[in-house]
């Protein structure tokens, strides 16, 4: 490693520190419960009052300066098909012909302006923002066009200008934020002939909804759609038919979308911190193992060498000793032989020298006796 351990840990601390310090919205496991910005505005849609005149669609088209539709807004045959908002229509009305009912039910569909919106939490450039006045605003100047907001929205609301090659934008209802700031009502609310749409603060709207349900319990389903769905919305609905029959999902739960991902995001700095420790630890362990193995190998080899050397030395010493003994024995033998020969010669000289035969001298040889 060319970089010192100290340097490396310094960098890591900086990396983790930036993760921890620059997260003002981090609140993964706190017990805080966000109940919406106080005084934020919204709309209550009373489905039982809607007559499907599509005037809201026309007004929306006008106030947002959208392109004219393929078929005029007073053509009610459009209602035969289930529609969703698209790039050129921020709101649509759908008709539901329910079994056992004489009259159809009409539902207006647009952005629900969630209190903690999935799209806002999903946007990786903060092009979508929840304003304190209630609207979810879109800033096209930041949008990259990844369309994760569309994936994330549980109500399938944001749309995309797929046919715009260079400056495509995400489109959706703005709650007529520019009009609200001028003190005007949203276009759709203003034009509604049946007062099926009511504009007000979210708290007021919930009160109104409860009152209506209480006053006409036989008429309304006892549920304010959007009060708690996905953590609550600024656009809410009361209905005379079950919401599930009106294409409105009732299994969304009450968990706000950001809570679904906050755990995974909170794990990021933890993983970074622990991985640094684990990876360095495993690296150190495997390195140490290599070291120990090398040392053990060296010790074993040294030991083996030493043992072998000792054994060799012993053998050499033994051989040396034996050789020495043999040599001494040989010397002794030679000396003895020489002495005996000398003695014999002396005796032969004293007695009768010609009598001495080679046979007799052989039998008295000392070397032969020893070897036997």
Partner 1 sequence: MTQSTPREKTVLTPFNVISGIIILIGVILTILRFAKGLGGVTNLDDNNPWGIWIGFDLMCGVALAAGGYVTCATCYIFGLKKFKCAVRPAILTAFLGYALVVFALNYDVGRPWRLPYPIFLSQGTSSVLFEVALCVFLYLTVLLLEFSPAAFEWLDWKRARHIIGKVSMVLVIFGIILSTLHQSSLGAIFLIVPSKLHPLWYSGYIAVYFFISSIFAGMSMVIFEHSLVARFLHDKIDKEHDIESQNVALGFGKAASFLMAGYLMIQVIGIAIDNDWKYLGTRWGLWFLVEMIGFVGLPAVVYAIGVRERNIKLIQRTAGWTVLGIILNRLNVSIIAFNWQLPLNQRYFPSFPEIMTTVFIITLGLVIFKFIATRMPILYAHPDYPDDH
Pairing of strands 92-96, 128-130: unpaired
Tell me if 8 contacts partner 1 by CB under 8 A.
yes
Task: Give the residue carrying structure tokens 């809570």.
Answer: 259
- Rounded to whole angstroms, how far apart are CA atoms 257 and 122? 9
The distance of closest approach from Cβ of residue 72 to partner 1 in the complex, given in angstroms and rounded to an integer, is: 23
* Closer CB to partner 1, 58 or 266, in the complex: 266
| Residues 139-158, mask of contacts with partner 1 (x by CB under 8 A) | ---xxxxxxx-xxx-x-x-x
Comparison of 251 and 372: residue with beta carbon closer to partner 1: 251
- 124 near 103, Cβ under 8 Å? no
223: helix, strand or coil:
coil
As measured in angstroms, the least distance from the Cβ of 294 to partner 1 is: 12
Least distance in angstroms from the C-beta of 235 to partner 1: 18
Between 274 and 329, whose beta carbon lies closer to partner 1? 274
Give, to the nearest 10 degrees, the angle between helix 5-21 and helix 257-350: 160
Taking the C-alpha atoms of residue 314 and residue 320, their distance in angstroms, rounded to an integer, is 10
Encoded one letter per residue, x for contact with partner 1 by CB under 8 A and - for no contact, window 164-183 reads xxxxxx--------------
Q: Does 280 bind partner 1 (CB under 8 A)?
A: yes
Asked whether position 34 contacts partner 1 by CB under 8 A, the answer is: no
Which of positions 297-356 make contact with partner 1 (CB under 8 A)? none
Residue 6 in the binding site for partner 1 (CB under 8 A): no
Chain position carrying tokens 């050397």: 309
Q: Are 114 and 137 in contact (CB under 8 A)?
A: no
**122 interacts with partner 1 by CB under 8 A:** yes
Q: Which is nearer to partner 1, 69 or 154 (CB)?
A: 154
Cβ atoms within 10 Å, residue 16: 16
Near partner 1 by CB under 8 A: residue from 265, 333, 341, 356? 265
Stretch that binds partner 1, among 255-263, 311-319, 343-351, 364-372 (CB under 8 A): 255-263
| Residues in CB range of 219: below 8 A, 6 or more apart | 48, 240
Specify the 3-state DSSP secondary structure of 26: coil
User: What Å distances lie between residue 85 and 82, 160, 278, CA to CA?
Assistant: 10, 10, 50
Residues that bind partner 1 (CB under 8 A): 1-3, 8, 22-23, 25, 84-87, 118, 120-127, 142-148, 150-152, 154, 156, 158-169, 249, 251-253, 257-258, 260-261, 263-265, 267-268, 271-272, 275-276, 279-280, 282-283, 286-287, 289-290
């Amino acid at each position: 490693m060319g970089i010192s351990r100290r340097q490396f840990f310094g960098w890591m601390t900086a990396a983790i520190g930036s993760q921890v310090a620059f997260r003002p919205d981090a609140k993964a496991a706190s017990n805080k419960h966000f109940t919406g910005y106080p005084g934020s505005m919204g709309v209550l849609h009373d489905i039982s009052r809607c007559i499907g005149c599509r005037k809201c669609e026309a007004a929306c088209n006008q106030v947002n300066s959208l392109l004219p539709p393929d078929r005029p807004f007073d053509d009610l045959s459009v209602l035969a098909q289930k529609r969703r908002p698209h790039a050129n229509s921020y709101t649509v009305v759908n008709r539901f012909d329910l079994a056992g009912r004489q009259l159809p039910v009409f539902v207006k569909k647009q952005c629900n302006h969630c209190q903690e919106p999935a799209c806002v939490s999903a946007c990786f450039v903060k092009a979508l923002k929840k304003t304190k006045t209630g609207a979810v605003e879109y800033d096209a100047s930041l949008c990259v066009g990844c369309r994760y907001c569309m994936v994330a929205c549980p109500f399938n609301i944001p749309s995309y200008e797929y046919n715009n090659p260079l400056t495509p934008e995400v489109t959706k209802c703005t709650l007529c934020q520019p009009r609200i700031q001028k003190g005007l009502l949203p276009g759709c609310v203003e034009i509604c002939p049946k007062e099926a749409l009511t504009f007000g603060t979210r708290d007021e709207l919930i009160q109104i909804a409860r009152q209506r349900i209480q006053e006409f319990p036989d008429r309304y389903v006892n549920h304010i759609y959007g009060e708690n769905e996905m953590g609550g919305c600024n656009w809410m609905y009361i209905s005379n038919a079950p919401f599930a029959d009106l294409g409105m999902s009732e299994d969304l739960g009450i968990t706000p979308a950001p809570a679904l991902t906050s755990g995974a995001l909170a794990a990021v700095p933890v993983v970074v911190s622990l991985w640094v420790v684990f990876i360095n630890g495993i690296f150190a362990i495997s390195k140490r193992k290599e070291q120990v193995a090398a040392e053990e190998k060296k010790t074993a080899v040294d030991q083996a060498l030493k043992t072998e050397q000792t054994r060799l030395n012993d053998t050499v010493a033994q051989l040396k000793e034996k050789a020495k003994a043999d040599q001494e024995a040989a010397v002794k033998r030679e000396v003895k032989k020489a002495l005996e020969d000398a003695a014999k010669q002396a005796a032969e000289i004293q007695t009768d020298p010609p009598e001495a035969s080679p046979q007799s001298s052989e039998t008295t040889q000392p070397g032969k006796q020893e070897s036997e």
